[in-house]
Amino acid sequence: MKSFLGFFLEARTSRISDQAIRLGLTGDGHGNWFDKEGKMVAKTEKGKLVKLTGREASAQEEQPAQQKQQTQEPNQESQFGTFADGTPRRMSPPTRADGSPKEDLGPLTVTFGRFNPPTIGHQKLLDAARKSAGKGDLKIYPSRSQDPKKNPYDPDEKSEVMRAMFPDHAGSIVNDPNARTIFDVLKQAHQDGYSSVKIVVGGDRVKEFEKLSGDYNGKLYDFSGVETVSAGDRDPDAEGVEGMSASKMRKAAAENDFETYRTGIPDIIDDKTAKLMMKTMRQRMKVSEGYNLWEIAPKFDWKNLRENFVNGNIFKVDQLVENLNTGMIGKIVRRGTNYLICVTEDNIMFKSWIRDLKEKKINYPGPSGVPATQRGIGTDSLRDYTFRMTGVKNAHNFINKYKKKKKLAS
């Protein structure tokens, strides 16, 4: 229903149009009015039809001509063309192998999350994503994070469990080893030919995803629009779907509390399967070796998490960490009161609460400490660099050994 202001503005506009029609004028929809010869003779100003003098009319005609000439000149925003809705592209559109442009696939809706483990609470998220997608494509990306404490299921297990728990969404679940971060997902969507993206996340993560995805549109990927949609807030004290979380499930599994664990599993899964799922989780979490609640479910032991952080036992400057919401990995450059400022290897800066992070271990010992300019073939520097990057501590000199044997034989 229109507001009183809406009706008022519509009535005022109608009076101006009627006056112009009586004078035999035609409008361009922008407040400019032209006579039968195409000359601009009047303008709409402050809600009134104002006739132009001869000099004013000439000046107004010159201005559109100059604007038209300017718009025809190539510029940074329009040189790559436009999207179907007219939005200027800021990057080259994706192309096929033969160089021809890819088909515009239209809008895509995605959700990216840990789902470790999946719970009935995630049903609400997936349903919201499906509703937001409408008739467009929906892709659900479980993150690739895995560790015994906060991410016990590996990506394959997690995807299988999700398809069993949420059969209505099984066809939309994407188990892609290359989709490690939300940026990987968005870059792939751009390459596939989608023109716009909606990211559906929990209400507590909207700002984080909104800033990251929006800041790099036109730099890492290019869409006519990137929108972050809230699937709703969660009440941790509520019963049933509203209060269920993966943290609560990990805590129940660690404590061998099947009754609580079962409440987080949908009825489509029978008790026998649910018990097997919890047993698998306990094995992956290595609970038989002992555990700290602040490590596996920090929201239930915030005091000890913060105490370890303040005392410098965890999350030290220059250490690598992974954001469990976005999948981004970066080096800590600053410690806040209960958050960290980190930078990825691509110089993308992100801020994360300590509850959403895990310390990241890498397969090689770390930076080599040997600049690229000092890695000449046959040098000790190259040897040190190779040892550092491969983890090798020493090597046999096969060349000298061969020479020694040859000398003895002669």
Dist. CA 127–CA 307, nearest whole Å:
38
| Superfamily of segment(s) 105-233+240-300 | HUPs (3.40.50.620)
Domain boundaries of the chain, sorted by first residue: 4-72, 105-233+240-300, 372-409
Among the residue ranges 26-40, 41-55, 125-139, 198-212, the one predicted with the least confidence is 26-40
Q: How confident is the model at residue 89 (pLDDT cuts 50, 70, 90)?
A: confident
Question: Is pLDDT at 161 greater than 70 in this prediction?
Answer: yes
Contact 80, 90 (CB under 8 A): yes
Instruction: Specify the pTM.
Output: 0.68
Nearest to 91 by CA among 191, 20, 173: 191
Q: Which DSSP string do the residues of 74-109 spell out, in sequence order?
A: --TTTTT-B-TTSPBPSSPPPB-TTSPBPP--EEEE
- Give per-residue pLDDT as tens, 292-310: 999 999 999 999 999 999 9
Q: What is the pLDDT of the chain when averaged over all its residues?
A: 80
- Give per-residue pLDDT as tens, 327-383: 999 999 999 999 999 999 888 999 999 999 999 876 544 444 555 556 566 676 666
Q: How confident is the model at residue 149 (pLDDT cuts 50, 70, 90)?
A: very high
